[in-house]
Structure 1
Amino acid sequence: MKKLFYPLGAVTLTAVLLLIVNLQSGATEDLDRYGQDVFGRMDFLLFFGFFGGEIFLATVSIAAILFLWFRRNNYVGMIIILLAVAGGNVLNKLIKTATERPRPGDQLAEAGYSFPSGHAMVSIIAAVVIIYLLTEKSGQTAVQIMLFSGALLLSALAGLSRLPDQAHYFSDVVGGWLLGYTYAVICLLIYEVIMKRRTVKKTM
């Protein structure tokens, strides 16, 4: 699965940069209209917003950190989870401030700007990084695929949950997924570089 991770990260980085460039030109209107037409009336999606919220993601992250601490003694992995989830949340807010995209409609209940969706971005960061770190030594590809599929499905539903209440445009959600995956790959690259250097030092 590692062979797919990094090339896909390059693709998502390119895609999100193109999306950001086209935000101000109105080129995303067709995409936003399509997303609202397809998902905007699916009120059941609102339930899944919980899985992209800060409380759920913080709880899952803490549980993963404790597992890596007590069961794996993987202190680098613990730091990477903090860098990924907490850092991804900070990055999301910085990009929102930089793009200054207003939310759709009259969103009095939603503070801040619209692009990218934090639910979509941070949930996919947590999904990719946490599942990767928890399963890297399992050697069971089928289990990895199942866990990744389940986690990514929850991330997809969490992102789409922002459309029925018009908290985000569809391009905000897509941008969140793209940027989140890219950032997750960067965090995992950092992790692998550190772990390889530690391995080399031990063998010297």
Structure 2
Amino acid sequence: MEPRLLASLCVLAALVLCFAFLADGVFNQQQHGFDRAILLALRDSRDLSQPLGPPWLIASVRDLTSLGGFTIITLVTVLAVFYLMAAGKYRNAAIVTSAIVLGAAAESGLKLLFSRARPDVVPHLVDVQTMSFPSGHAMMSAITYLTLGAMLARGQTGWRLRSFVFGCGLFLTLLIGMSRIYLGVHWPTDVMAGWTVGSAWALCVWMVADWLNRRRRPGDPPQ
């Protein structure tokens, strides 16, 4: 087996196992103490409505968390798909569209399956409406930004540029997930689960795109 494929499968298996561990803990309520401790550690013990840090940090975190919301994710996806189509990469455009649309459907299905309530330990600093597990912002940001980062990195020359492009997607994914914990709207295990399943989804998309690219006929432009 090709080393790159073997490494990808090993990472995928590790991500699936991590999600299974987190999901089992949610069903059995084994991680509730860990979740509570993290949320309480980020708040002023004298006033739980006040997060740690200067006032400007709250506004900054609210701005960051919007990058994982429905509106921004949709806008980024549409612009990326138009870019790929303009570059003649129609197959990649179709892969990105399918991955993110199906990922959004999977995220909604998982929330309904687990039906975990939002944290009630600390006051929420933004309005939320849906269930808690897994974090939709963490999952969709991982699916979107890691998929786009991997796709765009494939078109770069040199490992430095590829690492930078993919690293930007990874950095955004981590920031968005952590913002949900800071704002008190998700248990930490919600975010961790969103990261694992979203990363696994993005990895599967990358593997499919890489396999299709290797199957292209000689003379065909890279997709």
Asked if TM exceeds 0.5, the reply is yes
C-alpha displacement of 1:5: 4.5
Whether the 8 Å CA contact 1:51–1:155 is kept in 2: the answer is no
1:33 aligns with 2:36: yes
Cα distance, 1:17–1:195 mapped onto 2, change above 3 Å: same
More displaced 10-residue stretch of structure 1: 169-178 or 136-145: 136-145
The alignment covers a number of residue pairs equal to 200
C-alpha displacement of 1:135: 2.1
Identical pairs, percent:
22
Whether the 8 Å CA contact 1:127–1:155 is kept in 2: the answer is yes
Separation in 2, partners of 1:153, 1:180: 14
Match of 2:103 among 66, 88, 99: 88
Match of 2:152 among 129, 134, 138: 134
* Secondary structure at 2:19 match in 1: helix
Separation in 2, partners of 1:183, 1:170: 20
1:50 aligns with 2:84: no
Separation in 1, partners of 2:41, 2:209: 38
Separation in 1, partners of 2:34, 2:61: 19
Separation in 2, partners of 1:112, 1:157: 21
C-alpha displacement of 1:174: 0.5
Cα distance, 1:145–1:39 mapped onto 2, change above 3 Å: farther
Higher RCO (CA 8 Å, separation ≥ 6 residues): 1
1:104 aligns with 2:119: yes
Whether the 8 Å CA contact 1:125–1:180 is kept in 2: the answer is yes
Aligned CA RMSD, in angstroms, stands at: 2.4
- Gaps spanning 5+ residues in structure 2: where? 44-50, 53-57
1:184 aligns with 2:199: no
Q: How does 1:1-204 map to 2 (within 5 A)?
A: 5-39=8-42, 41-42=51-52, 43=58, 44-71=60-87, 73-105=88-120, 109-199=127-217
TM-score normalised to the size of structure 1? 0.87
Where does structure 1 differ by over 6 angstroms across 4 or more consecutive aligned residues? Answer: none
TM-score normalised to the size of structure 2? 0.80
In structure 1, what residue type is equivalent to 2:63? F
CA deviation vs aligned residue, 1:133-161 (integer Å, no higher than 9, x gap): 11213232101111222221111111111
Cα distance, 1:66–1:38 mapped onto 2, change above 3 Å: farther
Separation in 2, partners of 1:34, 1:9: 29
Whether the 8 Å CA contact 1:50–1:56 is kept in 2: the answer is yes
In structure 2, what residue type is equivalent to 1:93? S
Higher helix share: 1
* Secondary structure at 1:199 match in 2: coil
Separation in 2, partners of 1:131, 1:62: 15
More displaced 10-residue stretch of structure 1: 9-18 or 22-31: 22-31
In structure 2, what residue type is equivalent to 1:101? R
C-alpha displacement of 1:37: 3.9
Whether the 8 Å CA contact 1:46–1:164 is kept in 2: the answer is no
